[in-house]
Amino acid sequence: QKQMGQVIKEVMAKTAGNADGKMISELVKSKLS
């Protein structure tokens, strides 16, 4: 769970906040599962 927050932060930084937060969390969930 803690790792997921870190990944989301990285993705947000890479996309410069252009990606939707909900979309990112779904994407991260699928990657970590």
Contact between 4 and 33 (Cβ < 8 Å) = no
- What pLDDT is stored for residue 8 in this prediction? 76
The answer, as to whether pTM is greater than 0.75, is: no
- Per-residue pLDDT of 4-22, as tens digits, reads 788 878 877 877 766 677 7
Contact between 24 and 11 (Cβ < 8 Å) = yes
DSSP 1-33: -HHHHHHHHHHHHHHTT-S-HHHHHHHHHHHH-
Annotated domain spans of the chain:
2-32
Cβ-based neighbours of 31, under 8 Å, separated by 6 or more: 7
Q: Quick one: pLDDT band at residue 29, thresholds 50, 70, 90?
A: confident
